[in-house]
Chains A and B, each alone.
Chain A
Amino acid sequence: MSITGVSSDLIRGHIDTIILRVLYETDNYGYEIIKSIKRNSNGLYELKEPSLYTSLKRLEKGKMVSSYWGDKTQGGRRKYYQITPQGEAAYLKAIEQWHLAKKVIDLLVEGNEDNG
């Protein structure tokens, strides 16, 4: 991974939330989710396909998202994902947790005070 990209170690635990955010805005299918994530990160982060499928599978198992097959397009049928109410709640909770974690980690690694 290039130096300009985000460390995949740091982002790994947040992939589910990142995908939930995309689906919080609108239903979407696999490749378009990857594109949206790249767009949301201003091109600094690109989710890999295997991680996408692993995460979507986990989210669906946990009933955070549901899926349905879209109409046939020129390419073939697309599988769309939709966030469930449970997924929305989990997403909002994850944001809260992230804010707290960001504050604490900033204090721990830098000792900044402007995060008070």
Chain B
Amino acid sequence: MDELKMHVDRLFSKYKGSSSVDDLKAEILSNLEAKKNDLLSSGMGEEAATKTAKGSITSIDALIDGNRKVRSYPYKIEKLQTILLILIVAWIFSTPFLLLQNFATNALLFLSIGVFGLTLIIKSRRKPGQDTREYDHININSLARRAKLAWIIWTAFMVLCILAITGLNFSSNFWFSRPLIIDGPYQLARLISQYIGPAFTIVIPLILAKLSKLWIKHEVIEDE
């Protein structure tokens, strides 16, 4: 019995926690035990019966709620392309702010474009299926959850940033009666550009939201 339990544990090693998963796991194990006992009583040896029972189910990925089967290689490539595209657009948008000496955002975006671009080049050079499985199972529920969480965190982050930046700029007026001097369009633009840097973090939730819908194009419909 223990060998069957280990087999089922291995099948479910990626999935933990939810009660529906535990139910399925217990159900599959009890059915495999019933199968093994049945084979034993029909005269099969212990080892062969265990082996047959184990061989009857070798993957449960398709049975998990929200799981979708995708072709591993094109899915991964498009994931990288999507990230890259959003980063490049963000980078282009950030270039005008270089004039306002807002270098950090631009440099950071440029750096991440380099990293993801390089990864994409390396990945796309490998032939499909050379180093990975042909199919992957991804869970669209957890992808959607992740995107939603990213939006919530980003919103909270932006609220904090706006409060902090506004505080830093205007508090000298409140506490020391030294008003912030904006004596021209350049000063005003510099003031605004302080808010722009943090705002560019919007690429993170944007990317995650986009990635959470990518599977639609790559889904492989199971035959059985």
Q: Which residues of A contact B (CB under 8 A)?
A: 8, 12, 29-32, 34-35, 48-51, 53-54, 57, 74-79
Contact = CB atoms under 8 A, between A and B. Distances in A.
A34 B35 CA distance: 10
Given A74-B37, A78-B30, A79-B26, 13 more contacts: A29-B31, A30-B28, A30-B30, A32-B34, A34-B35, A51-B224, A53-B24, A53-B60, A53-B63, A54-B63, A76-B26, A76-B30, A76-B33
Q: How large is the interface on B (under 10, 10 to 19, 20 to 34, 35 or more residues)?
A: 20 to 34
Contacts of A31: 31-32, 34-35, 38
Interface of B: 1, 23-24, 26-35, 37-38, 56-57, 59-60, 62-63, 222-224
29 contacts: A12-B223, A29-B34, A30-B30, A30-B34, A31-B32, A31-B38, A34-B35, A48-B56, A48-B224, A49-B28, A50-B57, A50-B59, A50-B62, A50-B63, A50-B224, A54-B63, A54-B224, A57-B63, A74-B37, A75-B1, A75-B33, A75-B37, A76-B29, A76-B30, A76-B33, A77-B26, A77-B30, A79-B23, A79-B27
Q: Is the interface of A mostly helix, strand, loop or mixed?
A: helix
Nearest to B59: A50
Contacts of B223: 12
Contacts of A51: 224
B138 to A, nearest CB: 18
A78 B35 CA distance: 12
B49 to A, nearest CB: 13
A48 B222 CA distance: 14
Contacts of B224: 8, 12, 48, 50-51, 54
B64 to A, nearest CB: 10
Contacts of B34: 29-32, 75, 78
Contacts of B56: 48-49
A34 B32 CA distance: 12
Closest 4 CB pairs of A and B: A30-B31, A75-B33, A31-B34, A76-B30
B206 to A, nearest CB: 33
Given A8-B224, A12-B223, A50-B57, A75 B63 contact: no
A106 B144 CA distance: 48
A75 B32 CA distance: 9
A79 B25 CA distance: 11
Nearest to B5: A76
Contacts of A54: 62-63, 222, 224
